[in-house]
Amino acid sequence: MAVAAPEQRLARLERIWLERPGILGWLTTVDHKRIGLLYFWTTLVFFAAGGTEAMLMRTQLAQADEHVVGPETYDQLLTMHGVTMIFFFIIPMTTGAFGNYLVPLMIGARDMAFPRMNALSFWVFLGAGLFMYSSFLFHQAPDAGWFDYVPLGLKQYDGGLNIDFYALGLIFNSVASTLGAINLVVTIFKLRAPGMSWNRMPLFCFAMLAASLSLIFALPALTADLIFLELQRKLGFHFFDPAHGGSALLWQDLFWIFGHPEVYIIVLPAFGIATSIIPTFARHKMVAFPLVAMAELLVAFIGFGVWAHHMFATGIASTTLVFFAGASMIVVIPSTIQIYAWLMTVNIGTPSFKAPLLFIGGFILFFVVGGLSGIMFAAVPVDQATTDTYFVVAHFHFIIFGAAVFPLLGGIYYWFPKVTGRMYDERLAVISFILTFIGTAVTFFPMHIVGLLGMTRRVYTYDKGLGWDTYNLVETIGGFVIAAGLLLILFNIFWSYRRGEPAGRDPFHGGTLEWTTTSPPPTYNFPVVPTVSSAYPNWDEPDRQEDLRKLERGELVLDAGHETVVSSVNDARFDEVVEMPPESPWPILLAGALTIAFAFLLTSHWFVAGAFLVLTTLMLAGWHSQEPEEA
Amino acid sequence: MTLKRLELLQWYALFGGALAWASQHVAGYFVSTAACGSVGWHTETPQIALAVAAALAILAAEGAAIVVFRETSGLPTEAPPPYGRLRFFAQAAMLGNVLFLVITLLNGFGTVYHLPCAQS
Amino acid sequence: MTATAVRIARPNGWWGMALFVATEATLFGTLVGTWIYLRFENAHWPPPPLPNPPVLTPTLLTLALLTTSIFMQLAWRAAREWRRSRAWTLIAVAFAIQVFYLSWQLHDFVLAVHAFPPRASAFSSVYVTMLGIDHAHVLVGLLLSAWLLVRIATKITRYRLVALQAITFYWHAVNVITAVVLIVTVLPSV
């Protein structure tokens, strides 16, 4: 029997992996690349919303005694700014957009381990975001800060629906994050191309693994906290009031058991993007690869043990604080190891300072500044003097904006050619870097000073003559400069999508597997399951030649069905070929039912909410009624 | 040394120290809370015991990592599995266990040094 | 040769369930942690005039539930050897015990809510919440087992085998969690 020609095999793969055209195709897609793009654009909309909230706040604070917004509106803006940026922008952008799109490509798989659950994660995230933002329509957006301390968050002090939107919206969103995290972990564990043992897995995947495992173990603490809050608010339970044997600090402890790992979840994917960009543009493998991989996991793990450093000023016993001061000092070390590795790699390589590497350079600088102020907080007396001042606001914005968003922006440029098949405009990209870099420094650095001068956080205005005026004005101007830089990036993306030069398969000569396939990748990602014998497979020419020979021979092309390879967890030995589910309407339908259920929980219509939860369960049954065909 | 034994040592090296520190951290936190809450337990001895037990477990994990590292000497980072992977995790564990040991000692020393239940 | 002799690693579905169990176990960890945390905040636990939580009935019921792990594990072994009707019977036996367990516990839960009104104290709030969430997890397990009974009534496929493996793991986890919840909640009484 004649072996089918490669072109015939590729044509067959195209047909097998083709999804419905048009809007319906997007609504029922299970393709990780499409889901990644859905996440990307949706999170950008939330980024714009969070940015607008920020600019309204900054305009209000630009001068003393301003009246741009009143105090109640300001409280809603500051709360929603934090909630949006953390829960609806950065986490879904890094794990949902970058993680979903890139992880299967980097490990040589055809999709994520659970494609339909992947789609469900997105639609639930969208439902949760819409649920949360619908609160603005009623002028009852959450208004007690993004960490919503009790007793302020209790019904007697915040009687409207504001905090119920907060609690239910975040419980709902955590369903999406948990499902997404489980999917990433199983994908990384089981779907790596044969030969890609742990010591050959890209560092980006280690970062995603660390972030996903952290999400899995951190979110339940928040969920428990929010359940307690809603039970207390809606049904009169007692968890947080000392008069009935509860504890207000219980809220803080549980919140920060989630909240501190959360900030590492925010920054770890950014580390992953940096460790992808640096070897490519330094044209050298990452120095100390095993230590960098371990550092990513260590930051996540030790990060679970530092939570009470957010509570140093609450009056808890010094013997309790000790545990957290010690761990908070040591948790810096893995991050420092990474910084040294990155700098050494650039130093001993032959760097090409294109826009992605510039953003990483900015990231490293801002991360060091933010990290230095961070380690100062590990010293309890310093923390007690500066807590709740703008010094803290400066610290976390240097980390979240400087150290998490900058790599994202660099990553957008870096992978833009892969996703679209076009090159971005390098000159515009460099200008956008300069604008965002200057804007970030000008906006957030003065906050250190004004915080030490006594400006507390979450104030909606301040008196004249305190010496804060100029700093605030400068920060506001800086905010507009950041906005200009970000808008330029957006313009560059749109303009280059239409007019950019064709990028080809591998414009930057990157080391990881996504650069071995076409730009954009075909729906089936790779014509054959790639041959892997190092952590930088695209730099292994013999293996790439072997792939071509495999295609000729028809080996591991998997064109008999909608298939991908599953391997063993530790050493990525070939295990079996599994069939992947085709597109499905169940994820979006289920997410819709769940959104309605949460809406009725909000309004305390328990039976109707229960009915929609039952409907959700029935939909799950419908979903699982479709099984893969077996011989 | 057999592959099976190396595997056992590698997994203990990677997880043993981490779990020992995590246990000491969480248990020590609860013991200190018990001392200073309404129950008022006496806590110095339990805290020292926890720190010493954890430190010993972490030292053993570090030892295991060093053994695996030496048994796989000469292999490059991206060597084929299982020996390449064993070496990779041994290197990783050698770093991790040092950090866990330092935090454990800081924890233990700190709980003994401070005046019990002094408000911060 | 059994069906799983072909695989060298646990299937994806098992890993997905294992990670889901990890989140739920962590949730129960925070519930137990909350119990302990609040216990340290209160001189008396339970605070007067609340009675001590019941011991005997919950213990016996939990022991009964724990036996279902054995039945589910045996069902999984039988299914791996393609012994469909034996597997189905064992799942059904486990299911019957689990339904009996949950029915009795739900009846007692209603009584518990009256004896330990959540609006009275933090003790009652955390006691009722922890029990309620535990019972909810048993209910989810019943739905999963019911699904298995429907599917395996006709045929075992490799896919349904993975489902059985994953759901068996779920039951082991729920049983362990229930035992832990039992120990924590009866400790004040012993």
Tell me whether residues C43 and B34 touch, CB distance under 8 A: no
Q: What percentage of chain A reaches a pLDDT higher than 90?
A: 95
pLDDT at B49: 92
Task: Please determine, for residue A477, whether its predicted confidence score (pLDDT) is greater than 50.
Answer: yes
Phi/psi at C100 (nearest 5 deg)?
-60, -45
pLDDT at A623: 94
pLDDT at A397: 97
In whole angstroms, what is the distance from residue B105 CA to residue A143 CA? 42
Q: Measuring CA to CA, which residue among A270, A228, A53 is closest to residue A146?
A: A53
Residue found by looking up tokens 């545990």 in the block: A323
The neighbour count for residue B44, using CB atoms within 10 Å, is: 13
Q: Measuring CA to CA, which residue among A34, A53, A239, A195 is closest to residue A135?
A: A53
Task: Report the residue from A113, A220, A575 with minimal CB separation from C9.
Answer: A575
Q: How far is CA C125 from CA A249, A373, A388, B98, C31, in A?
A: 16, 40, 32, 42, 11
Task: Please determine, for residue B24, whether its predicted confidence score (pLDDT) is greater than 60.
Answer: yes
Q: What is the mean pLDDT of residues C148-169?
A: 95
Query: What residue of C is the nearest CA neighbor of B40?
Result: C40
Q: What percentage of chain B reaches a pLDDT higher than 70?
A: 97
In whole angstroms, what is the distance from residue A625 CA to residue C96 CA? 24
Chain A contact set for B106 (CB, 8 A)? 322, 325-327, 329-330
pLDDT at A332: 94
B20: distance to nearest CA of chain A, Å?
12
pLDDT at A2: 56
Q: Return the bridge partners of A576, or none.
A: A566
Split at pLDDT 50, 70, 90, the class of B32 is confident
C19 touches chain B (CB under 8 A): no
Task: Please determine, for residue B5, whether its predicted confidence score (pLDDT) is greater than 90.
Answer: yes
B49: distance to nearest CA of chain A, Å?
15
Task: Please determine, for residue A131, whether its predicted confidence score (pLDDT) is greater than 90.
Answer: yes
Average pLDDT across chain B, whole number: 91
Q: What is the mean pLDDT of residues C147-151?
A: 96
Tell me whether residues C41 and B37 touch, CB distance under 8 A: yes
Q: Are strands A574-579 and A563-567 parallel, antiparallel or unpaired?
A: antiparallel
Answer yes or no: are the C-beta atoms of A126 and A42 closer than 8 Å: yes
Instruction: Give residue-wise pLDDT tens across range A275-324.
Output: 999 999 999 999 999 999 999 999 999 999 999 999 999 988 888 888 89
ipTM of the complex: 0.96
pLDDT at A631: 56
3-state SS of chain A: helix, strand, coil percent to 5?
70, 5, 30
Instruction: Give residue-wise pLDDT tens across range A365-419.
Output: 999 999 999 999 999 999 999 999 999 999 999 999 999 999 999 999 999 999 9
End-to-end CA distance of chain A: 23
Task: Please determine, for residue C166, whether its predicted confidence score (pLDDT) is greater than 90.
Answer: yes
In whole angstroms, what is the distance from residue A300 CA to residue A305 CA? 10
Task: Please determine, for residue B33, whether its predicted confidence score (pLDDT) is greater than 90.
Answer: no
Please name the chains neighbouring C, where neighbouring means 3+ C-beta pairs under 8 angstroms: A, B
pLDDT at B35: 79
* Token representation of residue A455: 């400006």
Split at pLDDT 50, 70, 90, the class of A149 is very high
Task: Please determine, for residue B115, whether its predicted confidence score (pLDDT) is greater than 80.
Answer: no
Task: Please determine, for residue B75, whether its predicted confidence score (pLDDT) is greater than 70.
Answer: yes
Q: How far is CA A271 from CA A108, A341, A515, in A?
A: 21, 12, 20
Instruction: Quote the pTM value.
Output: 0.96
Task: Please determine, for residue A215, whether its predicted confidence score (pLDDT) is greater than 60.
Answer: yes
B117: distance to nearest CA of chain A, Å?
5
Interface of A with B in 518-557 (CB under 8 A): 533-535
Task: Please determine, for residue A600, whether its predicted confidence score (pLDDT) is greater than 60.
Answer: yes
Q: What is the mean pLDDT of residues A467-486?
A: 97
pLDDT at C87: 97
Chain C contact set for A185 (CB, 8 A)? 15, 19
Side chain identity, residue A157:
Y
* Token representation of residue A450: 């004004």
Mark C142-168 as b/e (b = at least 16 C-beta within 10 Å): eebbebbeebbeeebbbbbbbbbbbbb
Instruction: Give residue-wise pLDDT tens across range A432-459.
Output: 999 999 999 999 999 999 999 999 999 9
Phi-psi region of A514 (alpha: psi -120 to 50; beta: other; left: phi over 0): alpha
Q: What is the mean pLDDT of residues A540-551?
A: 95
Q: What is the mean pLDDT of residues A228-254?
A: 96
Q: Return the bridge partners of A502, or none.
A: A422
Q: What percentage of chain C reaches a pLDDT higher than 70?
A: 97
In whole angstroms, what is the distance from residue A424 CA to residue A529 CA? 30
- Three-state secondary structure along A99-131? HHHHHHHHHCCCCCCCHHHHHHHHHHHHHHHHH
Interface of B with A in 43-102 (CB under 8 A): 43, 47, 77-82, 84-85, 87-89, 91-93, 95-96, 99, 102
Instruction: Give residue-wise pLDDT tens across range C26-41.
Output: 999 999 999 999 998 8
C29 touches chain A (CB under 8 A): yes
* Token representation of residue A447: 């906050």
* Token representation of residue A476: 């506001």
Answer yes or no: are the C-beta atoms of A568 and A104 closer than 8 Å: no
Phi/psi at A454 (nearest 5 deg)?
110, 0
Chain B contact set for C42 (CB, 8 A)? 38
**Three-state secondary-structure class, residue A577:** strand
Interface of B with C in 6-65 (CB under 8 A): 30, 33-34, 37-39
Answer yes or no: are the C-beta atoms of B83 and A192 closer than 8 Å: no
Instruction: Give residue-wise pLDDT tens across range C90-142.
Output: 999 999 999 999 999 999 999 999 999 999 999 999 999 999 999 999 999 99
pLDDT at A3: 60
Average pLDDT across chain A, whole number: 96
pLDDT at A165: 97
Answer yes or no: are the C-beta atoms of A474 and A74 closer than 8 Å: no
C37 touches chain A (CB under 8 A): yes
In whole angstroms, what is the distance from residue B17 CA to residue B102 CA? 11
Split at pLDDT 50, 70, 90, the class of C1 is very low
pLDDT at C168: 98
**Three-state secondary-structure class, residue B80:** coil
Task: Please determine, for residue B36, whether its predicted confidence score (pLDDT) is greater than 90.
Answer: no
Q: What is the largest CA-CA distance in chain B?
A: 58
pLDDT at A183: 98
C155: distance to nearest CA of chain B, Å?
39
In whole angstroms, what is the distance from residue A143 CA to residue A460 CA? 12
A522 burial (CB, 10 Å; 0-12 / 13-18 / 19+) is: middle
Task: Please determine, for residue A236, whether its predicted confidence score (pLDDT) is greater than 60.
Answer: yes
Helices (H), C81-121: 84-115
**Three-state secondary-structure class, residue C5:** helix
C139: distance to nearest CA of chain A, Å?
12
Residues in chain C: 190
Chain C contact set for A237 (CB, 8 A)? 118-119, 125, 128-129
Task: Please determine, for residue C4, whether its predicted confidence score (pLDDT) is greater than 50.
Answer: no
The neighbour count for residue B3, using CB atoms within 10 Å, is: 10
Task: Please determine, for residue C89, whether its predicted confidence score (pLDDT) is greater than 60.
Answer: yes
Q: What is the mean pLDDT of residues A76-84?
A: 98
